[in-house]
């Protein structure tokens, strides 16, 4: 090769290198969109970085999740949550992991009497928020988040917010990878949430919308089996209209004679009891918490909860106008550390969460309740509530 | 142009990583190879023969000095069309058959397909591999590989062939075949640069030879001149020991076998020697005009090199 | 033209290489294994299958690329076949180009075979139901329920990205093989691959205010100058087609362009070194 040829080849390297660097500068900001697991916020072992070298990040994530499943089945719930963190870091689009992880957090850490540890609700919410931020275009995690608030937390406003978002978004067919209509129950659940929140007119409106949506779905999917959802929506709408009509005539005449009391039985053991003259199946919610209890806030997902907090929530079933339960938290010191000096114990009867046959008596929002004692009106809902301020030594 | 190859002061030194010293493989070699001759390039192992050939082919580059091959610098693409090379114990792509490997090399010369087929078949026939042409090279014997090597060296009708130890490791018959082929190449007007330490081959085919030792050119000349010696071999029987000792002092080579002696003496000393033996009762059995073998010259040269 | 002749021959040689075929068989086997993933939800199974399949194509492809890349030229020198080639009218750059091109074709065929096996396994997986109907010898439901997944083009794109990554690695190994021994080259090319694969680390470190300034430059140099293999790790949006990946195809084209430009650089360097190499 001639000297001139060598020189020109060498000279060619300069613009080529410049081109490569320029392309890299172009690629960098785009690449981050497609590559999960930002290194800047590594909180976990770098051994997982190794997996990224050979392009197996998602495989590692998947296999770790299988391992987590084994932990779950062996009852080792605490081992599951750190894996959730790693898996969602390796692959932030494995939505089932967020869902299952949050479900573990909110349901599966329970005390010896099967009450879940409420301190894990904020981490679960944070995990859903993160999952949604990473997967904002499909209905799945909005719905899951809504369901936790609807079913576990009983925060219907939050549930409505999440279900509304879910009800705007599509699902994805795992076989084809294509977007498709979300399941028809999403709109139904939203209507239920409106109703639970006492927004009866919005619920009615939503049922009407559901009927239209479900009918369209039957037409478009060509699946006559989906007709059942239309029928369900019609039934629910009719029943709600009937209930609304009937309950609108309710006058505050029913005195439920609500009364609640507690009794020390021994260290960390007490009995709660009282009366509520409503049909069997009504529930009174018991909350025992630090006087200064404030729900922890998590900017981003972490399972590092404040272990000094105490919050106990239980539902007391009313039978023949009475309720009574022995709360024994002697074996659950880690869940209920009782470290604060003062506690608030609250008994609440909330008509919104009452079953239909109870609402038949007192209305959606307690319109029929005639109790004077303990009546509080919150957001237009007439509830019954009695609280005790308790000192630490009264419980120990 | 008279010379096929002109080598001037060609030097190659390698830097040895082990000793940290420069090893001179070829030391200021100056040599001309005439067109149309078979040139024997001799030297013991490690003398720098292969290094020289590789420099002439442009596979490695001289530290200093120049060479011109058919008027071109080594490695020039044009000259590569006109020359060919058979390396020592050549290896070829073993996944190919004899036919395919020759076809591959022919393609490198840009020979068109139709011509290629004819040419390859001819060459296979020439080297006697027609029956095995579809066999993979991995199943070829060493002799067969050597033949393929020769065939690939002929593919472009070269004006100049570099053959590096073309007969090494061959059975006697194959040996002869290749020797004949080299002679035929010369008769066709080609120049053959034959590097070898198989002295008998060189002796039989070469026009001129050179002897290289430790990178230095020790001797170069026509084989005829080099071999034409002036010594005479005298054979005799019943030679007295003291006479044998005397004769031996004048002889380049002397030994006794069962009372018979063989001595090699200079022409000028023949009469004196014969007389001495006969006068002391010895019997001359033969007086043979001496001819030196290439081996003599080779050993002599290498020995001289060692002494100096 | 001469380069092409050498490339063709190189391909013929490579596909007969036992070790490369062993890797290919291992790759096909491991892709098939993913059919046995039947834990968790179906969605999860499909995600893992896709991820595993693409990962395996890449994993085994890495072995094929690096082992081929480090040996393409040195093997010829070692076995002295190069003497008979370079003494023919073959320019040295044509030889380097031909060897590389042959390797690239071999790599393409290997990746295509592995990729095809992966796509087949994927289609079988998503058509589990259709296949079950086959078991009952009822072909009607089979045809109606069989889906030609819309993900296939995306997955092919993913396989193409894997190929570009491997091609770049091949070019690195071939370039280094013009001056490094096979063993040294194996570690050298592997090291470059690792350094070039942790793009997100090198990028973050080069921009982090916590990094000392000299190290920042070093990271930036690694990030911009070492071939950036991390550019081709776009399997996540491909595995999750529901996630909107804005401008993904534009990105992929740019990454291909980057890879080709870098491959040219490596080949030019390789040629310049090889021109002066004593064989």
Q: Write C182-186 long-range contacts (CB < 8 A, 24+).
A: C182/C70, C182/C71, C182/C74, C185/C70, C185/C74, C186/C66, C186/C70
With beta carbons under 8 A apart, name residues in chain C contacting B96.
Answer: 9, 12
C-beta separation of A276 from A374 below 8 A: no
pLDDT at A172 over 90: no
Q: Which of B59, B81, B105 sits opposite C86 (nearest CB)?
A: B59
In a domain, B300, yes or no: no
CA dihedral (C146, C148, C151, C157) in degrees, to 10, reads 140
Residue C270 has pLDDT above 60, yes or no: yes
Question: How much is the pLDDT for C48?
Answer: 83
Percentage of chain B lying above the pLDDT 70 cut: 96
B118/B158 same-domain check? yes
Give the tens place of pLDDT for each residue, B7-19. 999 999 998 787 8
**Number of inter-chain CB pairs under 8 A, A vs C:** 184
Contact list in A for residue C53 (CB cut-off 8 A) is none
Tell me, what's the pLDDT at A42? Answer: 43
Domain final residue, candidates B226, B243, B276: B226
Those residues whose C-beta lies under 8 Å from the C-beta of residue A305, and which sit 6 or more positions away, are A119, A120, A122, A123, A296
Query: Is the residue at A290 inside a domain?
Result: yes
Domain that holds residue B245: 230-290
On whether residue B47 sits in a domain, the answer given is yes
B16-33 in b/e form (b: 16+ CB < 10 A) is eeeeeeeebbbbebebeb
Instruction: Kindly state whether residues A355 and A340 are assigned to the same domain.
Output: yes
B59 within a domain of the structure (yes/no): yes
Least confident of A327-336, C83-92, C201-210: C201-210
Percentage of residues of chain B with pLDDT beyond 90: 48
- What is the reported pLDDT for C222? 87
Write the DSSP string, B104-132: HHHHHTT--HHHHHHHHHHHHHHTT-GGG
The tens digit of pLDDT for each residue in C47-69 reads 888 888 898 899 999 999 999 99
Q: Across the interface, which of A23, A31, A54 has its CB nearest the CB of C59?
A: A54
Whether C42 has its CB under 8 Å from any CB of chain A: the answer is: yes
Straight-line distance from the first to the last Cα atom of chain A, in angstroms, rounded to the nearest whole number: 94
Q: What is the pLDDT of residue B187?
A: 93
B189 within a domain of the structure (yes/no): yes
Contacts with A20 from chain C: Cβ below 8 Å: 224, 258, 261-262, 265
Residues A372 and A334 both lie in one domain = yes
C83 to B57: CB separation less than 8 angstroms, yes or no: yes
- Nearest alpha carbon to residue A284 among A255, A308, A239, A314: A314
Give the A window 20-39 contacts with C, CB below 8 Å: 20-21, 23-28, 30-39
- Residues B124-160 have pLDDT tens digits of 998 889 999 999 999 998 888 888 999 999 999 999 9
**pLDDT for the residue A237:** 95
pLDDT-wise least confident of A145-149, A222-226, B25-29, B207-211 = A222-226
Q: Is the same domain home to B135 and B67?
A: yes
Beta bridge partners of A323: A274
Task: Give contacts of C275 with chain A, Cβ < 8 Å.
Answer: 1, 6
Greater pLDDT, C217 or B301: C217
User: Do B100 and B188 share a domain, yes or no?
Assistant: yes
pLDDT at A47 over 60: no
Q: Do B59 and C13 touch (CB under 8 A)?
A: no
Per-residue pLDDT of B109-124, as tens digits, reads: 999 999 999 999 999 9
Question: Is the pLDDT confidence value at B1 over 70?
Answer: no
Residues B197 and B243 in one domain: no
Pair (B116, B178) in one structural domain: yes
- Contact flag B108-C2 (C-beta cutoff 8 Å): yes
Contact assignment for C86 to B57 by CB distance below 8 Å:
yes
- Does residue B302 form part of some domain? no
In chain C, where the domains are located: 2-132+141-275
Q: In 3-state terms, chain C is what percent helix, strand and coil (to 5)? A: 80, 0, 20
Do A16 and A70 lie in a common domain?
A: no
In-domain check, residue A212: no
- Asked if C199 has any chain A CB less than 8 Å from its own CB, the reply is yes
Q: B269 and B219 in one domain?
A: no
Query: For C221-234, what is each residue's pLDDT tens digit?
Result: 888 989 999 899 88
Instruction: For residue range A371-394, list pLDDT tens digits in order.
Output: 888 999 988 899 999 999 999 999
Considering only CB atoms, C87 lies closest to which of B85, B93, B110, namely B85
Q: How many domains is chain B partitioned into structurally?
A: 2
Please report, for residues A222, A226, A233, A242, the alpha-carbon distance to residue A212 in angstroms, rounded to integers and kept in the order given.
Answer: 15, 13, 10, 20
Neighbours of C139 (CB within 10 A): 10
Instruction: Give the mean model confidence (pLDDT) for residues C127-155.
Output: 76
In a domain, A313, yes or no: yes
CB contact under 8 A, C40 and A56: no
Sign of CA dihedral C164, C166, C167, C173: positive
Task: Kindly state whether residue B308 falls inside one of the protein's structural domains.
Answer: no
Question: Residue A18: what pLDDT?
Answer: 94
Nearest by CB to residue C197, choosing from A53, A66, A178, is A53
Asked if B158 and B259 sit in the same domain, the reply is no
Domain-located, residue B22: yes
Domain extent, residue A7, equals 3-34
In this prediction, residue B254 carries a pLDDT of: 80
Q: Which residues of B touch C83 (CB under 8 A)?
A: 54, 57, 59, 85, 87, 90
Q: Does residue A195 form part of some domain?
A: no
Q: Which CATH number does the domain housing residue B13 bear?
A: 3.40.50.300
- Indicate the pLDDT class of residue A39, thresholds 50, 70 and 90: very low
Flag if C87 and B108 touch (Cβ within 8 Å): no
**For residue A380, what pLDDT is reported?**
87
Q: Are residues A270 and A330 in the same domain?
A: yes
Residue A40: the pLDDT is 43
Indicate the pLDDT class of residue A41, thresholds 50, 70 and 90: very low
pTM (two decimals): 0.79
Q: Look at residue A44 and tell me whether its pLDDT is greater than 50.
A: no
Pair (B114, B90) in one structural domain: yes
End-of-domain residue from the set B208, B226, B244: B226
CB contact under 8 A, C233 and A55: yes
Q: Are residues B16 and B160 in the same domain?
A: yes
Does A324 score more than 90 pLDDT? yes
Instruction: Give A177's contacts in chain C (Cβ within 8 Å).
Output: 149-151, 154, 241-242
By CB neighbour count within 10 A (0-12 exposed, 13-18 middle, 19+ buried), where does C26 fall?
middle
Residues 48 through 87 of chain A touching chain C, CB cutoff 8 Å: 49, 52-59, 61-63, 65-66, 69
Same-domain check for residues A16 and A81 = no
If asked whether residues A79 and A10 sit together in one domain, one would say no
């Amino acid at each position: 090769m001639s000297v001139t040829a060598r020189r020109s080849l060498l000279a060619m390297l300069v613009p080529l290198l410049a081109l490569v660097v320029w392309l890299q500068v172009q690629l960098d900001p785009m690449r981050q969109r497609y590559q999960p697991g930002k290194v800047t916020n590594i909180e976990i072992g770098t051994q997982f970085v190794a997996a990224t070298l050979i392009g197996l990040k998602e495989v590692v994530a998947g296999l770790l999740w299988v391992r987590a499943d084994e932990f779950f089945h062996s009852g080792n719930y605490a081992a599951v949550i750190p894996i959730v963190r790693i898996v969602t870091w390796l692959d932030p689009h494995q939505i089932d992991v967020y869902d299952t992880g949050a479900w573990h957090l909110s349901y599966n850490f329970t005390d010896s009497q099967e009450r879940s540890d409420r301190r894990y609700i904020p981490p679960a919410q944070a995990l859903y928020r993160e999952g949604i931020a990473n997967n904002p275009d499909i209905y799945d995690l909005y719905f899951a988040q809504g369901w936790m608030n609807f079913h576990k937390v009983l925060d219907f406003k939050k549930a409505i917010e999440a279900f509304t978002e879910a009800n705007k978004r599509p699902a994805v067919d795992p076989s084809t990878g294509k977007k498709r209509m979300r399941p028809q129950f999403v709109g139904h659940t939203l209507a239920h949430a409106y109703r639970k929140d006492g927004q009866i007119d919005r619920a009615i409106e939503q049922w009407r919308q559901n009927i239209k949506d479900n009918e369209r779905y039957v037409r478009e999917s060509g699946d006559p089996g989906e007709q059942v959802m239309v029928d369900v929506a019609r039934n629910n709408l009719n029943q709600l209209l009937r209930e609304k009509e009937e309950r609108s005539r309710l006058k505050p005449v029913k005195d439920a004679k609500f009364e609640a009391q507690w009794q020390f039985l021994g260290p960390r053991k007490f009995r709660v009891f009282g009366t509520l003259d409503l049909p069997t199946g009504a529930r009174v919610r018991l909350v025992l918490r630090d006087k200064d209890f404030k729900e922890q806030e998590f900017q981003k997902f972490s399972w590092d909860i404040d272990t000094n907090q105490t919050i106990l929530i239980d539902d007391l079933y009313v039978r023949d106008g009475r309720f009574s339960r022995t709360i024994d938290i002697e074996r659950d010191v880690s869940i209920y550390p009782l470290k604060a000096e003062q506690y608030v114990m609250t008994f609440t009867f909330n008509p919104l969460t009452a079953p239909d046959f109870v609402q038949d008596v007192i209305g959606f929002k307690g319109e029929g309740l005639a109790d004077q004692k303990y009546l509080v009106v919150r957001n237009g809902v007439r509830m019954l509530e009695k609280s005790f301020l308790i000192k630490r030594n009264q419980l120990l | 142009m008279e010379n096929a190859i002109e080598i001037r002061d060609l030097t190659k030194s390698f830097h040895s990583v082990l000793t940290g010293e420069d090893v001179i493989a070829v030391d200021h070699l100056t040599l001309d190879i005439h067109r149309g001759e078979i040139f024997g390039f001799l030297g013991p192992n490690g003398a720098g023969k292969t290094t020289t050939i590789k420099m002439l082919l442009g596979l490695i580059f001289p530290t200093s000095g120049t060479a011109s091959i058919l008027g071109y610098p080594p490695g020039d693409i044009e000259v590569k069309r006109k020359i060919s090379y058979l390396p020592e114990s050549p290896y070829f792509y073993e996944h190919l058959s004899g036919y395919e490997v020759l076809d591959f090399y022919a393609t490198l010369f840009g020979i068109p397909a139709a011509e290629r087929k004819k040419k390859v078949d001819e060459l296979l026939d020439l080297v006697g591999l027609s029956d095995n042409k579809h066999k993979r090279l991995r199943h070829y014997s060493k002799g067969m590989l050597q033949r393929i090597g020769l065939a690939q060296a002929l593919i472009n009708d070269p004006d100049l062939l570099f053959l590096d130890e073309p007969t090494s490791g061959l059975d006697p018959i194959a040996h002869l075949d290749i020797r004949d082929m080299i002679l035929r190449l010369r008769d066709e007007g080609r120049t053959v640069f034959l590097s070898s330490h198989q002295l008998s081959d060189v002796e039989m085919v070469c026009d001129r030879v050179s002897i290289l030792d430790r990178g230095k050119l020790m001797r170069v000349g026509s084989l005829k001149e080099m071999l034409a010696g002036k010594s005479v071999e005298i054979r005799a029987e019943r030679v007295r020991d003291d006479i044998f000792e005397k004769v031996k002092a004048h002889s380049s080579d002397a030994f006794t076998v069962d009372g018979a002696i063989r001595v090699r003496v200079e022409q000028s000393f023949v009469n004196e020697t014969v007389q001495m033996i006969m006068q002391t009762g010895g019997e001359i059995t033969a007086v043979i005009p001496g001819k030196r073998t290439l081996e003599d010259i080779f050993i002599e040269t290498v020995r001289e090199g060692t002494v100096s | 033209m001469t380069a092409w002749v050498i490339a063709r021959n190189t391909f013929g040689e490579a596909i007969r290489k036992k070790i490369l075929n062993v890797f290919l068989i291992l790759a096909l086997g491991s892709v098939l294994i993913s059919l046995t993933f039947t834990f968790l939800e179906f969605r999860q199974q499909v995600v893992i299958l896709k991820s595993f399949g693409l990962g395996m194509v890449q994993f085994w492809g890495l072995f094929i690329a690096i082992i081929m890349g480090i040996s393409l030229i040195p093997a010829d020198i070692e076995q002295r076949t190069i003497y008979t080639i370079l003494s023919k009218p073959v320019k040295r750059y044509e030889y380097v180009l031909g060897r590389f091109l042959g390797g690239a074709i071999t790599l393409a065929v290997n990746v295509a075979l592995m990729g095809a096996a992966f796509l087949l396994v994927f289609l079988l997986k998503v058509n589990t139901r259709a296949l079950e109907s086959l078991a009952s010898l009822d072909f009607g439901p089979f045809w109606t329920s069989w889906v030609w997944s819309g993900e296939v083009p995306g997955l092919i794109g993913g396989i193409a990205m894997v190929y570009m990554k491997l091609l770049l690695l091949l070019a690195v190994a071939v370039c280094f093989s013009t001056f490094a021994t096979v063993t040294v080259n194996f570690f050298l090319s592997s090291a470059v691959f690792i350094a070039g694969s942790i793009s997100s680390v090198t990028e973050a470190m080069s921009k982090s205010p916590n990094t000392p300034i000299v190290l920042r430059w070093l990271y930036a140099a690694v990030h911009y100058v070492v071939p950036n293999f991390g550019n081709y790790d776009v399997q996540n949006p491909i595995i999750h087609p529901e996630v909107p990946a804005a401008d993904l195809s534009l990105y992929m084209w740019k990454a291909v362009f980057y890879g080709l430009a870098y491959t040219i650089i490596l080949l030019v360097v390789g040629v310049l070194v090889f021109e002066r190499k004593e064989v």
